[in-house]
Structure 1
């Protein structure tokens, strides 16, 4: 039986104290599961205050760092789940352009979910991802 790898990428806060791992890969390293990324810096300080666009940018910065920590890249992402606190349809106009820029116009499959709250009352968005590495392009 092969073992999973638990990765704490540089530049992202350590989630172990909060009961999760930032990135888990499944040997032979083809599947990468990235925990929900939030708009915190490495010191668990909120970035973006209440600004959804600024929070989204930080979330994607953290996602990029997490992917790199697993030897993956943005182009390897196949699925994202986006969680919004008190989702409103006009959030799409804010977030879609940011996602399109991040994914280079080739967005992965996605599911958007409106939730009542996230782990911290100041968080407005969280994104988790699944990536596939080592596949034929």
Structure 2
């Protein structure tokens, strides 16, 4: 699948990061804003309670499904925000490693945040995304 997203890597900034510093989507494009993907199963129950990596796997599967419902895939994503309910950097890293596994070579600009609490009971991880598709609304 061709993506209308071009990831920008700036060699005047640190190269050790696991994401591009910017993304460009040339117009016309169809924009997709995905609600924060949560670690919920089909019954609306939080999965993998207490397990940052386990919840991130479910979050990413749910994100893929939400994107597919809009006709998009992870390679159409231009920006993500990863929320982790923890003040421990190791918990953020555990979630980030799973997130990166799903994103693969498509290392879009992303923000990783430790937050106090997320919306669902026992929820530890949430990922929101913005995606674009070439061709605008008439696709």
TM-score, normalization: structure 2?
A: 0.71
Q: What is the Cα deviation at residue 29 of structure 1?
A: 6.2
- After superposition, the C-alpha distances for 1:107-130 in whole angstroms (9 at most, x for unaligned) are 211112221111123000111000
Match of 1:64 in 2: 64
CA contact under 8 A between 2:81 and 2:129: conserved in structure 1?
yes
* Poorly superposed stretches of 4+, deviation over 4 Å: none
Root-mean-square deviation (CA), in Å?
1.7
Task: Give yes or no for the alignment of 1:45 onto 2:45.
Answer: yes
- CA distance in 1 between counterparts of 2:71 and 2:127 reads 19
CA contact under 8 A between 1:99 and 1:107: conserved in structure 2?
no
- CA distance in 2 between counterparts of 1:44 and 1:55 reads 13
Cα distance change of structure 1 residues 33 and 117 upon mapping to structure 2, 3 Å threshold? same
Match of 1:111 in 2: 111
- CA distance in 2 between counterparts of 1:86 and 1:50 reads 11
Unaligned runs of 5+ in 1: 1-27
Higher RCO, 1 vs 2 (CA within 8 Å, ≥6 residues apart) = 2
User: Greater CA radius of gyration, 1 or 2?
Assistant: 2
